[in-house]
């Protein structure tokens, strides 16, 4: 395994990277001064990967929506029991999650990190599915889907994505639908597993008081005979415009909830994506952060509360700038936001506001190194983007006010905007 040492030019931090010939990327941040270890074993496989083929296969496979999340649930099971029981015996806390573009399995422990790492690497690499256990899981996940259907926050977000996207699978609930998961069987799960859980499509991130050489040697021994695969993902022809500019749903809420989103064009390439993410984070802090003119004006007018937030997320074929929160008048919030964006385009970004936003976010990034959980999560982002952790630090340091003004010109297109609301049920 090729081993690379990354050191920060400005911080007393280092990252040890291992690149296995199979394609697996291992990122380790040794933190001897911290007491806990956090490890994350992930694959570049999420809910949007519903159409794919491996190199050499003549046809694309189309699989049911929600299968990546279904597979995540099933991997914890084995013929000898489940992985949670194994982790409990060592005192570790374990979990997993599926998002639009990735599935990750993780643990946190205060000691015995090597034993826990062995468990993590073992259960993720040894799937066990039968038709009987798959049918049982369909009932369990079906209940989970119904539970999320009753969650106003979940409903308002996916209402927005369905208003923005006509064909891209980002518009579908990560868990799928009760109808879609009914079509999943053991053979499908094994096909998805063999495709997306190949080491060439995976990454391992560890932060804590660990020995990087022992981790890399362990991975080397585990993957000595593994070969990588090439995956071709399906392309979804998504129109530029939105499906609808407004969507609403009545639910049991005390105050209306809203999600205002702009359908952006995703940048190409890992370094470009990193720059886009950093610049957009700073821009959103200037536009609608807690020290911004807009945020305080909306707060004084009683149009928002402290639940208001702004974020940006992007992946294969999608990118969304999102503002969400609670408001008695979501339309007024949307109008005020567009007015503020127009003002910034006309007048430019204030230098002091720029410095304040940039320094705040850079400071948060530095503080991240005090948390093994945040470090491991940031390493996973780097693995997905094909960058390294210190490139993020440099991107924050390098961003300029002019960069943001240029970024502002191509964002927040009113013709690609949608507003999703959840309002109280009328008596």
Containing H/E element for 376?
A: helix 372-385
- How far lies 360's CA from each of 118, 305, 354, 366, 396, in Å? 38, 21, 10, 10, 10
- What end-to-end distance do the CA atoms of the chain give, in Å? 65
Q: Which of these three, 233, 265, 290, is where a domain ends?
A: 233
Q: Which of these three, 207, 233, 259, is where a domain ends?
A: 233
Q: pLDDT tens digit string along 265-310?
A: 886 655 567 888 899 999 999 999 999 999 999 999 999 999 999 9
The one catalytic residue in 17, 65, 72, 340 is: 72
Task: Please give the Cα distance from 297 to 293 (Å, whole number).
Answer: 6
Is 90 exceeded by the pLDDT of residue 78?
no
Residue 43's closest CA among 252, 219, 195, 178?
Answer: 195
Whether 76 and 137 have beta carbons less than 8 Å apart is answered as: no
Rounded to 5 degrees, what angle do the CA atoms 364, 351, 370 make?
10
Strands (E), 195-266: 202-208, 231-233, 246-251, 257-263
Task: Please give the Cα distance from 206 to 221 (Å, whole number).
Answer: 18
Mean pLDDT on 209-224 = 93
CATH of the domain at 116: 3.30.830.10
The answer to whether position 178 is within a domain reads yes
For residue 225, name the pLDDT band (cuts at 50, 70, 90).
confident
Residue 264 and residue 144 share a domain: no
Q: Give the contacts of 311 (CB within 8 A, at least 6 positions apart).
A: 284, 321, 322, 324
The three-state (H, E, C) secondary structure of 11-77, written as one string = CCCEEEEEECCCCCEEEEEECCCCCCEEEEEEECCCCCCCEEEECCCCCCEECCCCHHHHHHHHHCE
Q: Which of these three, 208, 233, 258, is where a domain ends?
A: 233
For residue 10, name the pLDDT band (cuts at 50, 70, 90).
confident
Residue 283 and residue 196 share a domain: no
Task: Please give the Cα distance from 322 to 309 (Å, whole number).
Answer: 8
Mean pLDDT on 74-93 = 91
Mean pLDDT on 303-325 = 94
Structural domain for 346, as ranges: 246-424
Residue 394 and residue 297 share a domain: yes
Residue 26 and residue 171 share a domain: yes
Q: What is the pLDDT of residue 223?
A: 86
The answer to whether position 241 is within a domain reads no
Is 90 exceeded by the pLDDT of residue 385?
no
**Would you call 127 helix, strand, or coil by DSSP?**
coil
Residue 187 and residue 84 share a domain: yes
The answer to whether position 215 is within a domain reads yes
Q: pLDDT tens digit string along 248-271?
A: 999 999 999 999 999 998 866 555
Whether 321 and 280 have beta carbons less than 8 Å apart is answered as: yes
Residue 226 and residue 261 share a domain: no
Higher pLDDT, 67 or 268: 67
Containing H/E element for 158?
A: helix 152-164
Q: pLDDT tens digit string along 112-124?
A: 999 999 999 999 9
Q: What is the pLDDT of residue 247?
A: 97
Residue 83's closest CA among 71, 93, 97, 98?
Answer: 93
Task: Please give the Cα distance from 298 to 288 (Å, whole number).
Answer: 10
Q: Decide if 347 is catalytic.
A: no
- % of the chain with per-residue pLDDT over 70: 98
Residue 13 and residue 88 share a domain: yes
Whether 197 and 226 have beta carbons less than 8 Å apart is answered as: no
The answer to whether position 239 is within a domain reads no
Containing H/E element for 109?
A: strand 103-109
Domain count, the chain: 2
Q: What are 262's two structure tokens?
A: 């702009």
Task: Please give the Cα distance from 45 to 96 (Å, whole number).
Answer: 13
Q: What is the pLDDT of residue 337?
A: 96
The average confidence (pLDDT) of the chain is: 93
CB neighbours of residue 136 within 10 Å: 11
Q: pLDDT tens digit string along 22-33?
A: 899 999 999 999
- How far lies 23's CA from each of 6, 196, 226, 231, 402, in Å? 19, 12, 9, 13, 38
- % of the chain with per-residue pLDDT over 90: 81
For residue 206, name the pLDDT band (cuts at 50, 70, 90).
very high
């Amino acid at each position: 395994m090729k081993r690379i040492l990354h050191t920060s030019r400005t911080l007393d931090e280092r990252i040890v990277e291992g690149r296995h010939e199979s394609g697996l990327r291992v990122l380790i941040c040794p933190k001897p001064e911290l007491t806990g270890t956090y490890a994350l074993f992930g694959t570049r496989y999420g809910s949007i990967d519903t159409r794919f083929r491996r190199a050499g296969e003549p046809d694309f496979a189309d699989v049911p929506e929600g299968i990546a999340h279904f597979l995540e649930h099933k991997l914890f099971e084995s013929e000898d029991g489940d992985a949670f029981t194994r982790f409990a015996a060592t005192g570790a806390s374990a979990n997993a999650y599926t998002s639009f573009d990735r599935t990750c399995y993780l643990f946190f422990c205060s000691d015995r990190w090597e034993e826990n790492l062995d468990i993590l690497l073992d259960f993720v690499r040894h799937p066990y599915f039968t038709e009987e256990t798959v049918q049982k899981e369909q009932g369990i996940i079906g209940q989970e889907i119904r539970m999320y259907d009753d969650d106003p926050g979940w409903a308002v977000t996916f209402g927005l994505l369905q208003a923005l996207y006509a064909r891209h699978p980002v518009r579908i609930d990560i868990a799928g639908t009760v109808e879609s998961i009914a079509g999943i069987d053991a053979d499908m799960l094994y096909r998805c597993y063999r495709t997306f859980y190949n080491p060439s499509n995976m990454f391992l991130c560890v932060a804590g008081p660990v020995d990087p050489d022992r981790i890399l040697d362990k991975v080397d021994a585990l993957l000595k005979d593994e070969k990588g695969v090439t995956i071709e993902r399906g392309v979804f022809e998504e129109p530029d415009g939105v499906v609808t500019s407004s969507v609403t749903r009545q639910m049991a809420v005390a105050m209306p909830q809203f999600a205002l989103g702009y359908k952006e064009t995703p940048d190409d390439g890992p370094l470009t994506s990193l720059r886009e993410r950093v610049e957009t984070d700073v821009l959103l802090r200037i536009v609608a952060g807690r020290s911004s003119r807009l945020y305080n004006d909306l707060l004084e007018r009683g149009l928002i509360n402290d639940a208001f937030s702004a974020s940006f997320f992007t992946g294969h074929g999608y990118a969304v700038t999102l503002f969400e929160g609670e408001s008695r008048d979501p339309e007024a919030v949307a109008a005020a936001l567009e007015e503020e964006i127009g003002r910034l385009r006309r007048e430019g970004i204030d230098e002091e506001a720029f410095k304040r936003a940039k320094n705040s976010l850079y400071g948060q990034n530095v503080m991240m190194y005090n948390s093994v959980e945040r470090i491991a999560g940031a390493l996973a982002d780097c693995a997905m983007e094909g960058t390294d952790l210190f490139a993020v630090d440099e991107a924050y340091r390098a961003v300029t006010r002019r960069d943001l003004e240029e970024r502002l010109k191509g964002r927040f297109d009113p013709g690609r905007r949608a507003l999703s609301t959840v309002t109280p049920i009328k008596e």
